[in-house]
């Protein structure tokens, strides 16, 4: 199983190198271990993360893509989902083998933008209610 996972990870790394998504850099920690990756994620515009660069580590299981990787930010950050940024560890049924490293990282960027925006709107609403 690890052989097919390695081939898949090598193909995904090649794709990320040829066509990197905006604001994301990712790849294996070293070429001898394709099952441990580092990623740098640029904070989404118009959020409290704007201008920041957030390092993360991804650990891929031997049966990837049948099972999801584990991802963790390697810096201090405040976010409701920073311990499980992909949401897959807490909900295995959300994972699908058609996911890719690129899709995973793009969903993390969306998570950073969406949850904080929702919290910001909640805080504005709370302030407005207090004024009444």
Name the strand (E) or helix (H) holding 32. Answer: none
Q: Can you give the pLDDT at residue 98?
A: 92
Q: Check residue 46 and give left, alpha or beta (phi > 0: left; psi -120 to 50: alpha).
A: left
DSSP 3-state assignment of 64?
Answer: coil
- The confidence score (pLDDT) of residue 31 equals 87
- Going from the first residue of the chain to its last (132 residues), give the mean pLDDT of each consecutive group of 10, the final group possibly shorter: 91 96 95 95 87 93 94 74 48 76 90 64 66 70
User: What does the pLDDT read at residue 115?
Assistant: 57
pLDDT at 88: 44
Domains and CATH numbers, the chain: 2-131 (3.10.110.10)
pLDDT at position 114:
73
SS3 65: coil
Please give the Cα distance from 34 to 15 (Å, whole number): 14
Spatial neighbors of 9 by CB under 8 A, at least 6 apart, are 28, 34, 35, 60, 64, 101
Residue with tokens 């891929």: 60
Calpha distance 19→36 (Å, rounded):
20
């Amino acid at each position: 199983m690890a052989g097919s996972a390695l081939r898949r990870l090598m193909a995904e790394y090649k794709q990320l190198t040829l066509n990197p998504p905006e604001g994301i850099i990712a790849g294996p920690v070293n070429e001898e271990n394709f099952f441990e990756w580092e990623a740098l994620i640029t904070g989404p515009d118009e959020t409290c993360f704007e201008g920041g660069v957030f390092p993360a580590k991804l650990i891929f299981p031997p049966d990837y893509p049948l099972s999801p990787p584990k991802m963790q930010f390697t810096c201090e950050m405040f976010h409701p989902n920073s311990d499980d940024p992909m949401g897959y560890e807490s909900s295995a049924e959300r994972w699908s083998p058609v996911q890719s490293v690129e899709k995973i990282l793009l969903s993390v960027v969306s998570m950073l933008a969406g949850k904080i925006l929702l919290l910001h709107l909640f805080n504005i609403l709370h302030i407005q209610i207090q004024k009444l």
